[in-house]
Amino acid sequence: MPFIQNVPLSVIKSGDHKHSNNCLLIQITDICYEPPKPAKEFVSVHQFEFMDIERLQLNTDRDSPNFLQQEPNPDFDDIGIKMSQAVETIAILQKPLKPTLMLLYTVMQACVAPGQLLK
C-alpha cells in the first residue's frame, strides 16, 4: 500500500523512520544549505533548494500609496520555487500512487510551509 510521510531532518540522519526496500526520499532545503546524508538507503533521493517565500508580499511601507496592498516580491524569481521544481516534485509525489512504492520527505527550512510546494 502506498505511504507518504513527512519526517524531520534528525530522523533522516538517524534512520529512525518507517522504511522499506522500495522507498523514495525528497529533501527540500534553504538555498546554500547542505542536506544530510540519509542513514538508510533509498531507491532514489531527490533534492531541491529554494526559499519558502510567497510570489506576492504585503507592502508595509506606510509612506507608500500602496500601503497594505499585495505587490510582487522582487526576490521570488531568484530564490523562490521554480516552476520546473514544482513540476518535478509533483511527478515524484505521484510515484507512490503505485502500490509498491513508499515516499519520505523532509523539509529543512527556517519557515516551513509545505503547502507552498503544491501551490
pLDDT > 90 fraction of the chain, expressed in percent and rounded:
0
Distance from C-alpha of 44 to C-alpha of 49, rounded to nearest angstrom: 17
pLDDT tens digits, 48-66: 888 777 778 778 888 888 8
pLDDT band at 104 (very low <50, low <70, confident <90, very high): low
Rounded mean pLDDT, 93-101: 64
Structure letter (DSSP) for residue 44: E
* Cβ pair 17, 37 in contact under 8 A: no
Instruction: Provide the pLDDT confidence category of residue 96 given band limits of 50, 70 and 90.
Output: low
Cβ atoms of 32 and 111 within 8 Å: the answer is: no
Is the distance from CB of 92 to CB of 24 less than 8 angstroms? yes
pLDDT over 70 for what percent of the chain?
Answer: 76
Whether 108 has a pLDDT exceeding 60, the answer reads no
